[in-house]
Structure 1
Amino acid sequence: MNQTEKAKAFGALHRKGDPVILYNIWDAGTAKAVTEAGAKALATGSWSVAAAQGYGDGQKLPMAVLLETARSITAVNELPLSVDFEGAYSTDPEGAAANVAKVIEAGAIGINFEDQNIGESGLHPLEAQAARIRAIRQMAEARGIDFFINARTDLFLQEGDGARHAGLVDEAIERGKAYAAAGASGFFVPGLIEPALIEKICAAASLPVNIMMKPGAPDPAALGKLGVSRISYGPGPYRAMMEKLKEAAAAVYRPL
């Protein structure tokens, strides 16, 4: 498949009630392993890609390194690749669109695009975030690609008390609708694990809803029944692999 065909195929994987599962990768080697395990598409996780290069999350990884990582994956793997692009390394709509164009040039067919103020507190105003999504969509359309913009809201990640998540659902739904109108392809609500709240968002959203797996979250089958269209594993795979690596190394270095 060419890039245009991969983009269409990736979008078609997002089916309400039959979610596409993305076991997040961080380089070409992990892409190969996940592909051989049966993945239908690939997605990087920003935390994992940054950590693998010795950086913290939050756009601390140089964009050039991230783009080279994407190129290295698409050069040797035929599956559609979505890149976790955080805040597109720009708060300006034109700058965000120009940066995402480089992701397309690297061979990717989609991004995660978040609405938090990276390095600060709170979220971007709704209209400001919608303006960035519109600019990215217009850029992608000009290139003739059905680019998948997975619009993420950080409402639930920024509120660590799950008991307060119910009070954020209406705002999340409002953001989802605005992002859809601006040209988003999917709506990502990481941090939310309460089944009733997930179901409410899935029922209200016109976009495919993405949930991130974390301790306490429903299993993939249960998420499908709630109406979820996409399941991500975020930094979980990287953290699990690093724990195994440390255990193996500790065994080697243990005094005889």
Structure 2
Amino acid sequence: MPSPQDVSARRRAFRDLHASGCFAIPNPWDPGSALYLEKLGFRALATTSSGAAWRHAKADGQMTVEEVLLHLREMVAATRLPVNADFEGGFAEDAAGVARNVRLAIETGVAGLSIEDSTGEPDVPLRDLPDAVERMRAARAAIDAAGGETLLVGRAENFIVGRPDLDDAIRRLRAYAEAGADCLYAPGIKTREQIAAVVAAVAPKPVNLLIGFATELTLHDIEALGVRRVSVGGALARTAWGGFMRTAETIAREGRFDGFAAAASGAELNRLFRGDRS
């Protein structure tokens, strides 16, 4: 594990990344993918609840807080980069529980963490705004009590849970900003108009944009819209799973092995994991 001094340095560097410009913060799902992304030159990484869950043969949202904390520790240990934690809804029914679990997440060494407002209940997928704000304030208080270095991300899940109401998402993001969130995030928005509206609504606080789909937008285009950081959620994990599933299905159904033509080099992977990061 990194030293306390190293953790503090990572957190300062992570906060500085949010001060200007736009950066990509890809989402590895295990230590190996984290190490490879570091090698590519990315400046920060973020965990993915879905990618981590699939790695453990679980659906997104089914991991326990203990399992997630273990995952965060191994991801922080795997890389020299700042790691932002997808901490879902805080793994607690009340604000006091959110505060307790946020304290535990901070102890793993993460440089940032997000708290979302979804309930996991199909009929009522979003928390009432006062409840969600209380939970965000609890997360903020836990971070401040630990020294205030860890970045807090407030997430409005409207577009992810089937309630694509931009006005409500903006109302929620503004409330989370007032409750102490340092960065705001409405996963699922896609159009230039939606993105620009969210950026303007919470300015000058930074906005995270999720790009987990094929799009004509480039990082340069997204920066021009005022977005500060771009994550990919479970898309890298889904891409890896897609290649694996297609190749395995071809073997099972057709007895053919040509899917291995796109496989990574074993020699390259061995060089990476032996510690040759050149």
* Both structures adopt the same fold (TM-score exceeding 0.5): yes
Matching of residue 119 in structure 1 with residue 117 in structure 2: no
Matches within 5 A, 1:40-51: 40-51=43-54
Query: Deviation at 1:251?
Result: 5.7
Matching of residue 171 in structure 1 with residue 168 in structure 2: yes
Task: Provide Cα deviations, 1:38-72, integer angstroms capped at 9, x if missing partner.
Answer: 110110111110011000012x1122121111111
Query: Deviation at 1:76?
Result: 3.1
2:200 match:
203
Return the match for 2:6 from 2, 5, 10: 2
Q: Does the aligned pair in 1 maintain the 2:116–2:155 contact within 8 Å?
A: yes
RCO (CA 8 Å, sep 6+): is it higher in 1 or 2? 1
CA distance in 1, matches of 2:77, 2:214: 37
**How many pairs are equivalent?**
248
1:95 match:
97
1:134 match:
137
Matching of residue 234 in structure 1 with residue 233 in structure 2: yes
CA distance in 2, matches of 1:209, 1:24: 17
Query: Deviation at 1:169?
Result: 2.5
2:38 match:
35
2:219 match:
220
Runs of 5+ consecutive residues of structure 1 not aligned to the other structure: none
Return the match for 1:191 from 188, 192, 198: 188
Q: For the aligned residues, what is the CA RMSD? A: 1.9
2:242 match:
243
Q: Does the aligned pair in 2 maintain the 1:87–1:118 contact within 8 Å?
A: no
CA gap 1:50/1:39 in 2 versus in 1, 3 angstroms: same
**Identical aligned residues as a percent:** 30
CA distance in 1, matches of 2:31, 2:172: 34
Query: Deviation at 1:11?
Result: 1.7
Bigger mean CA deviation after superposition, 106-115 or 243-252: 243-252
**Moved beyond 6 Å, runs of 4+:** none
CA distance in 2, matches of 1:231, 1:84: 14
Q: Does the aligned pair in 2 maintain the 1:137–1:147 contact within 8 Å?
A: no
Query: Deviation at 1:158?
Result: 2.5
Return the match for 1:65 from 64, 67, 77: 67
Task: Provide Cα deviations, 1:68-99, integer angstroms capped at 9, x if missing partner.
Answer: 11111222322111111110101311100111
Instruction: Mark the structure with the bigger radius of gyration.
Output: 2
Q: Does the aligned pair in 1 maintain the 2:213–2:235 contact within 8 Å?
A: no
CA distance in 2, matches of 1:30, 1:231: 18
Matching of residue 14 in structure 1 with residue 18 in structure 2: yes
Runs of 5+ consecutive residues of structure 2 not aligned to the other structure: 257-278
Bigger mean CA deviation after superposition, 113-122 or 174-183: 113-122
CA distance in 2, matches of 1:82, 1:198: 21
Matches within 5 A, 1:73-92: 73-92=75-94
Look up the equivalent residue of 1:201 and give its one-letter code. Answer: V
Query: Deviation at 1:219?
Result: 2.6
Q: TM-score with structure 2 length normalisation?
A: 0.83
Query: Deviation at 1:208?
Result: 0.9
Query: Deviation at 1:13?
Result: 1.1
